[in-house]
Structure 1
Amino acid sequence: MAGQLLLVDDEPGLREAVKAYLEEEGFTVHVASNAREGWELLQQISPELVISDIMMPQVDGYQFLKQMREDPRFESLPVVFLTARGMTSDRIQGYNAGADAYISKPFDPDELVAIVSNILARRAVVSKSASDGETPDIADMARQIAEIRAMLTQRGSIAQTPAPIKIDFTPREQSVLELVAEGLMNKEIARRLDTSVRNVEKYVSRLFSKTGTNSRTELVRYALEHGLAK
């Protein structure tokens, strides 16, 4: 199963070996040598799964995972710990922190591939189930957006905004923003723009990052208040 992965490990030899093996299995692998680099990459590439070492300088794997779980954009992103810390207490700490799997070094690369593939396969099933039941979400989002528009109109915010703020959106990001503001969910936006749902998810994630918002409702509110969408 192909997928886009982020590998974070401070050991160059192991990092490159794992990257090469995963790429041979068809995965696209982005690498970072520490958690800070990993956090920056995470926001640029929106991977489907993160593989992270635990013992790293400055910010360890547990702190990195905590940072992800506290961010709405990454709170459900699958994370596999790959580490030399193999005691039962270490595993328990990893799972309690929110890790989806825990592999001790040294490890069998085939086991890593099997675990990653299994997690991504289950994630795909969940995503499909969610998209199959998307109609109620669209209606709920439309209701929320209608309430926001009514609130802003009542306050006179839209009419009285002196000038739109300037944010450097790409043309595609602006198109996605307009459609989000219309109340469309990712599946409908993908159809409208003739692209994949995964690409739409990436654009929405970038919109969150650029506007400092954490949800679609917050994004729409921000866009309307600042003249970024009609």
Structure 2
Amino acid sequence: MAGQLLLVDDEPGLREAVKAYLEDEGFTVHVASNAREGWDLLQQTAPDLVISDIMMPQVDGYEFLKQMREDPRYQALPVIFLTARGMTSDRIQGYDAGCDAYISKPFDPDELVAIVSSILKRRAAATQTSGDGETPDIADMARQIAEIKAMLSQRGGIPQTPAPIKIDFTPREQSVLELVAEGLMNKEIARRLETSVRNVEKYVSRLFSKTGTNSRTELVRYALEHGLTK
């Protein structure tokens, strides 16, 4: 699956080898030798995914990732760490920092391509839209949600049972959940929360993951049945 990639690594040989391999697979690859250069290229090229080393001079990969996650424009941007730090504790630290995948050097280039392709395909599937920027059936969302609420309220109130597992939503995830339950589209949610549509898509994806649901209607039904929203 073609896409725009940003590769940040301070090892010239590896950087060029990875760039060449990815380009042979159809990707467009922009390269940077350090995180500061990577940050500049990030704003210039708007890549679909970032591949970054961790151990780099001045600004390391963790700081680079932190900078991205603190910027609303890049909070949902997929990031892969490609690094020589391969201990389990390193991997945990990477995922805790917010990376989407962690690959230890030395690595199989085919595995890197497979992971990049998989992440981009999932992202494309999650954000596949119609002309108005929403899923094709989004116009029916409010009606479906109203029907769910009516059905669950037939016995004098929405029956609520504890969720099978304790779910901890961040304040922003909870806000997005409440607005999804109102039947708002991603663009409307983005305007209400003064954020980007990409960020809303990211939060909705996280809500799907945390609740084990696959659609907005399933998410709303789950949330109502378990008292996760009003």
What's the TM-score once normalised by structure 2's chain length? 0.60
User: Quick one: which amino acid aligns to residue 101 of structure 1?
Assistant: A
In structure 1, distance between residues paired with 2:41 and 2:54:
18
Is 1:94 the counterpart of 2:142? The answer is no
Q: Could you tell me which of 112, 131, 135 is aligned with 2:134?
A: 131
In structure 1, distance between residues paired with 2:96 and 2:190:
36
User: Quick one: which amino acid aligns to residue 140 of structure 1?
Assistant: E
CA shift, 1:125, in A, is: 0.7
In structure 2, distance between residues paired with 1:50 and 1:41:
11
What root-mean-square deviation, in Å, do the aligned CA atoms of Structure 1 and Structure 2 show?
A: 2.4
Query: For each residue in 1:72-113, what CA deviation from the matched residue of structure 2 results, as whole angstroms up to 9, or x when unmatched?
Result: 000010000000000000000000000000000000000000
Is 1:3 the counterpart of 2:6? The answer is no
CA shift, 1:141, in A, is: 7.0
Aligned to 1:34: 34
Give SS of 1:73's match. Answer: coil
In structure 1, distance between residues paired with 2:110 and 2:16:
16
Sequence identity of aligned pairs in percent? Answer: 77
Give SS of 1:102's match. Answer: strand
Gaps of 5+ in 1: 145-184, 187-230
**Residues matched between the structures, number:** 147
In structure 1, distance between residues paired with 2:187 and 2:104:
46
What's the TM-score once normalised by structure 1's chain length? 0.60
Q: Any residues of structure 2 matched to 1:41-190 within 5 Å, and which?
A: 41-128=41-128, 131-132=134-135, 136-137=184-185, 140=188
User: Quick one: which amino acid aligns to residue 33 of structure 2?
Assistant: S
Give SS of 1:54's match. Answer: coil
Query: For each residue in 1:12-54, what CA deviation from the matched residue of structure 2 results, as whole angstroms up to 9, or x when unmatched?
Result: 0000000000000000000000000000000011000000000
Pair 138,124 (structure 1): closer, same or farther in 2 beyond 3 Å: closer
Gaps of 5+ in 2: 140-183, 199-230
Give SS of 2:6's match. Answer: strand
Residues 134 and 186 in structure 2, CA contact (< 8 A), matched pair in contact too: no
Aligned to 2:20: 20
CA shift, 1:128, in A, is: 1.2
In structure 2, distance between residues paired with 1:37 and 1:138:
32
Give SS of 2:81's match. Answer: strand
Residues 134 and 185 in structure 2, CA contact (< 8 A), matched pair in contact too: no
In structure 2, distance between residues paired with 1:120 and 1:142:
22
Give SS of 1:26's match. Answer: coil
Pair 38,134 (structure 1): closer, same or farther in 2 beyond 3 Å: farther
> Which structure shows the higher helix fraction?
1
Give SS of 1:131's match. Answer: coil
- Deviating above 2 A after TM superposition, structure 1's stretches of 4 or more consecutive aligned residues are 133-144
Pair 29,141 (structure 1): closer, same or farther in 2 beyond 3 Å: same
User: Quick one: which amino acid aligns to residue 92 of structure 1?
Assistant: I
Residues 3 and 28 in structure 2, CA contact (< 8 A), matched pair in contact too: yes
CA shift, 1:137, in A, is: 2.9
